[in-house]
């Protein structure tokens, strides 16, 4: 049987003009009532959808990576990882049931810079080396764990099974054969995972997914049929079985440009523009075509049914997502400190403050900084306040004349510097009349 609660997904529009709008789609009532819930989510920041795990999204913009719950709108901005010049790479987000830790992994490939026509450009064919960094959510910084001898530059969905992230990698551009690799979120080690013997030169894994809790893969071969293989016993090569086969199908709403892309993709890799998303409770299979069309395939009758929704974006990214109010428990710091800066509306300095807090959570640190600032302003007779904070975990507004706005940590450097100046075990509030 498929997931008893029914699958659900997050869609994100690929068009910048839509501010990368998020949508939630739920198939819980599809089997019993034939209904699918399609809901536009509240606007967040204009950031890109990367991954999903346990009801949380990993998202990023050009400078930062975030973890957020799209329903509670609670955010966590991760420590910044120094970006190397001319890099491409891959980001994934996962959770290990034994350690109870969430981790983000980034694999960055450095390309050689070349001089073309009097300007510096990136060599398109040469990957110099990979750099693998891991961040355990709650830790203050990323850890470099070495290099990776696999190519993860192509954007491919990962599969999280048995506490391990899985990807497909190709050794070079001259072969369609793929390598199945895993990353253990507990030991932080990469290794190859065995594929069935049938994956020869004319049949190879094209994409990965998790079906009924098992590691699964879509494989294609010369007759244009998409085979779905499932590893019934993790790590045992002989446990791979072919679960079902999906025939060639072209959804009717694909436009002429999409059709051209579809045929070009098929010329190189048969059925490579089709992705298996999940198995529904009635054992029908949900498919995605070209990030454009969602189709239900009935394996018993071999029929296809296209699904459409009001306000559905023209092109999108889609990830499996379990809607919940879940959030991440981050261990308290033993030496937490708060810092704040008070300025006039045009940015002129009024005063700064800091305080040692001892053992407490990030949320409490942020609230102490806001409270100290409000008390100082109240004593000085101010009654209109705009609060700028650099931790997205806390969004509070209880007074009509207080407004709150999130700012990047780089824009709050002085407040951070004041917090770092705090003397350990000195719980007195210190104020600074002059700019540091």
Under the phi-then-psi rule, with left for phi > 0, alpha for psi from -120 to 50, and beta for the rest, what region is 5? alpha
C-alpha span between 156 and 370 (Å, rounded): 42
111-134 tens-digit pLDDT: 665 556 655 555 555 555 678 999
What is the mean pLDDT of the segment spanning 135-139? 91
Q: Which CATH superfamily is domain 8-320 in?
A: TolB, C-terminal domain (2.120.10.30)
What is the mean pLDDT of the segment spanning 364-382? 82
Domain coordinates in residue numbering, the chain: 8-320, 333-432
300-347 tens-digit pLDDT: 999 999 887 777 777 788 899 988 888 887 765 556 778 888 888 777
Tell me the range of 52-66, 146-160, 421-435 where mean pLDDT is highest: 52-66
C-alpha span between 115 and 92 (Å, rounded): 33
What is residue 423's DSSP assignment? P
What is residue 157's DSSP assignment? -
Average pLDDT of the residues of the chain: 77
Biggest CA-to-CA distance, the chain: 78
Bigger pLDDT: 211 vs 131: 211
Those residues with Cβ within 8 angstroms of residue 87's Cβ, 6 or more apart along the chain or in another chain: 108, 109, 110, 111
C-alpha span between 259 and 264 (Å, rounded): 9
With a cut of 90, say whether residue 370 has pLDDT above it.
no
C-alpha span between 231 and 136 (Å, rounded): 29
Tokens 């990353």 belong to residue: 183
With a cut of 80, say whether residue 257 has pLDDT above it.
no
Q: Do 12 and 287 form a contact (C-beta atoms < 8 A)?
A: no
Provide the pairing of β-strand 385-389 with 402-406: parallel
């Amino acid at each position: 049987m498929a997931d008893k609660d029914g699958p659900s997904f997050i869609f994100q529009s690929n068009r910048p003009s839509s501010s990368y709008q998020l949508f939630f789609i739920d198939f819980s009532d599809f089997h019993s009532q034939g209904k699918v819930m399609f809901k536009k989510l509240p606007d967040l920041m204009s950031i890109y959808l990367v991954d999903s795990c346990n009801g949380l999204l990993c998202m990023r913009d050009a400078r930062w990576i975030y973890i957020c719950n799209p329903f509670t709108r609670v955010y966590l901005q991760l420590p910044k990882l120094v970006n190397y010049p001319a890099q491409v790479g891959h980001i994934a987000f996962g959770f290990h049931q034994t350690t109870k830790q969430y981790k983000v992994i980034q694999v960055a490939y450095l390309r050689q810079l070349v001089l073309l026509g009097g300007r510096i450009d990136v060599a398109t064919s040469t990957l110099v080396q990979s750099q693998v960094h891991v961040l355990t959510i709650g830790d203050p910084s990323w850890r470099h764990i070495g290099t990776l001898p696999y190519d993860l530059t192509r954007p491919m969905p990962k599969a999280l099974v048995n506490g391990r992230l899985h990807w497909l990698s190709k050794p070079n551009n001259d072969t369609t054969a793929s390598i199945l690799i895993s990353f253990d979120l507990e030991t932080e080690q990469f290794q190859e995972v065995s594929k069935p013997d049938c994956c020869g030169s004319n049949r190879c894994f094209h994409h990965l997914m998790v079906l009924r809790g098992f590691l699964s893969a879509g494989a294609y071969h010369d007759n244009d049929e998409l085979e779905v293989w499932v590893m019934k016993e993790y790590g045992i090569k002989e446990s791979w079985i072919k679960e079902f086969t999906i025939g060639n199908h072209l959804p009717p709403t694909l436009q002429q440009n999409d059709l051209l892309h579809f045929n070009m993709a098929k010329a190189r890799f048969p059925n490579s523009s089709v992705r298996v998303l999940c198995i529904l409770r009635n054992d029908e299979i949900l498919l995605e075509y070209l990030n454009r069309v969602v189709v239900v395939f009935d394996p018993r009758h071999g029929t296809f049914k296209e699904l459409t929704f009001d306000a559905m974006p023209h092109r999108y990214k889609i990830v499996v997502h379990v809607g919940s109010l879940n959030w991440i428990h981050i261990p308290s710091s033993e030496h937490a400190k708060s810092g704040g800066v008070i300025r006039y509306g045009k940015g002129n300095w009024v005063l700064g403050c800091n305080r040692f807090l001892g053992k407490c959570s990030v949320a409490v640190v942020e609230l102490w900084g806001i409270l100290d600032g409000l008390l100082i302003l109240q004593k000085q007779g101010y009654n209109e306040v705009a609060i700028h904070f650099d931790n997205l975990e806390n969004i509070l507004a209880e007074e009509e004349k207080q407004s709150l706005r999130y700012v990047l940590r780089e824009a709050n450097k002085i407040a951070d510097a004041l917090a770092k100046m705090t003397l350990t075990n000195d719980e007195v509030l210190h104020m600074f009349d002059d700019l540091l």
